């Protein structure tokens, strides 16, 4: 939930890839699995502690990703009213995410950034931030690549370094694939273990990489558990009789 990239593909298709930086003591999330919620088929890896998630996608074309923190580092001040991962679940259930962000009560929730992709009817990208006091909502261009990084874990310099690595990668990769962008998320860096794309600070480290590929009529989610070096890919048909159509590799 701490570094995220977006890559545009043809015909409003895209790749959305995220590294989850988390305490190894939190407990490992399971592989992405299927869930039927409020009439929607959703796939996501479930956090074992709070029951929510940091990344999810549904058969109606909505994808959501969560990052820790908003614009600046914040003081951790529990208890919080609800886990941010559960807010992800509420956001993906709403067919109009912009209305959700305008009307939801975020009081008592730890600061976060949430990126939502949906069709209205064309593809849209919303970047929402809650800093514990105010909300910030910005729409991003769908035709351009984007990178986000956690303001809670990374300094502005470290975030700029990530953007530099990403721009260099874009220059060397004119066509995009799940394999290539996941490799970027795994290998990019300068040799600084505390701040590379796959980082390790002892109390927090990169535990997994998850990539959503939204293709015409099909959504795929690839998940690499770095702690166990295990991989799974799961697929979901969009709007096919509201029934799951899937395969697991």
**What does residue 137 show for φ and ψ, rounded to 5 degrees?**
-130, 125
Question: Which secondary-structure segment (H or E) carries 44?
Answer: strand 40-44
The pLDDT of residue 43: 96
Q: The CATH number of 3-237 is which of 3.30.2450.30, 3.40.50.720, 1.10.150.120, 3.60.60.10?
A: 3.60.60.10
Put simply, whether the predicted model's pTM sits higher than 0.85 gets the answer: yes
| Cα-trace Rg, the chain | 17
In tens, the pLDDT along 85-117 reads 999 999 998 889 999 999 999 999 999 999 999
Question: Is the backbone peptide bond immediately before 199 cis, with ω within 30 degrees of 0?
Answer: no
Question: Which secondary-structure segment (H or E) carries 50?
Answer: none
Residues 165 and 197: beta-carbon distance below 8 Å: yes
Q: What are the angstrom distances between the C-alpha of 132 and each of 10, 75, 155, 183, 194?
A: 37, 10, 19, 34, 27
Flag residues of the chain having pLDDT under 70: 239-249
In tens, the pLDDT along 103-152 reads 999 999 999 999 999 999 999 999 999 999 999 999 999 999 999 999 99
The pLDDT of residue 28: 78
Residue appearing with tokens 């949906």? 118
The pLDDT of residue 13: 95
């Amino acid at each position: 939930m701490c570094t995220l990239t977006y890559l545009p593909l043809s015909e409003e298709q895209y790749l959305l890839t995220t590294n989850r930086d988390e305490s190894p003591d939190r407990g490992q999330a399971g592989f992405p699995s299927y869930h039927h919620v409020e009439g929607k088929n959703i796939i996501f890896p479930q956090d074992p502690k709070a029951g929510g998630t940091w990344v999810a996608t549904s058969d109606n074309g909505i994808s959501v990703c969560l990052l820790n923190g908003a614009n600046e580092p914040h003081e951790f001040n529990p208890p919080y009213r609800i886990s941010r991962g559960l807010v992800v679940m509420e956001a993906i259930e709403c067919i109009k995410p912009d209305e959700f962000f305008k009307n939801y009560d975020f009081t008592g929730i730890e600061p976060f950034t949430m990126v939502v992709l949906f069709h209205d009817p064309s593809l849209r990208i919303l970047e929402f931030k809650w800093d514990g006091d105010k909300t910030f909502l910005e729409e991003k261009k769908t035709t351009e690549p984007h990178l986000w990084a956690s303001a809670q874990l990374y300094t502005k310099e470290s975030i700029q370094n990530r953007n530099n690595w990403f721009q260099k990668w874009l220059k060397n990769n004119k066509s995009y694939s799940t394999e290539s962008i996941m490799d970027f998320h795994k290998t990019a860096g300068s040799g600084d273990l505390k701040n590379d794309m796959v980082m390790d600070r002892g109390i927090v480290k990169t535990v997994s990489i998850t990539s959503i590929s939204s293709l015409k009529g099909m959504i795929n989610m690839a998940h690499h558990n770095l702690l166990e070096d295990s991989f799974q890919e799961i697929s979901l048909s969009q709007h096919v009789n509201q029934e799951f159509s899937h395969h697991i590799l």
